[in-house]
Amino acid sequence: MGAKYVGDVCHVSGTYEKDGEQKKRYVKCGAYFENDHGGLGIKLDYVPTQVGEKGLWLSLFLKDKDGNAGSQSKPEKKAPPPDEVPF
């Protein structure tokens, strides 16, 4: 059949302040998909060049009920902090 769009792949490009609160600024660099067998795939349109001290981290944002992905959608589970990665 094909792959079904699941959400966006983004990275943090900086921060900004809104209503006295520090927020992260995200840039979309691709999308991720699920195939008919439950496998996941990522298509990158842009490869970020801003690599921090702990490497390049990408965030996955699930699409909402209308099929849109964005900063308002939150992943179901947060990734562990870099020093707690189990591999």
pTM: 0.63
DSSP annotation of 3 reads P
CB of 25 within 8 A of CB of 11? no
Q: Give me the DSSP letters along 31-84.
A: EEEE-TTS-EEEEES------BTTB---EEEEB-TTS-BSTTS--SSPPPPGGG
> Token pair of 60, please?
């996955």
The domain segmentation of the chain, as residue ranges, is 4-64
> Token pair of 16, please?
């900004």
pLDDT tens for the chain, 87 residues long, are 688 999 999 998 889 999 999 999 999 999 999 988 889 999 999 888 877 788 888 899 998 766 565 544 444 444 445 555 454
Residue 81 confidence (pLDDT)? 53
Residue 83 confidence (pLDDT)? 56
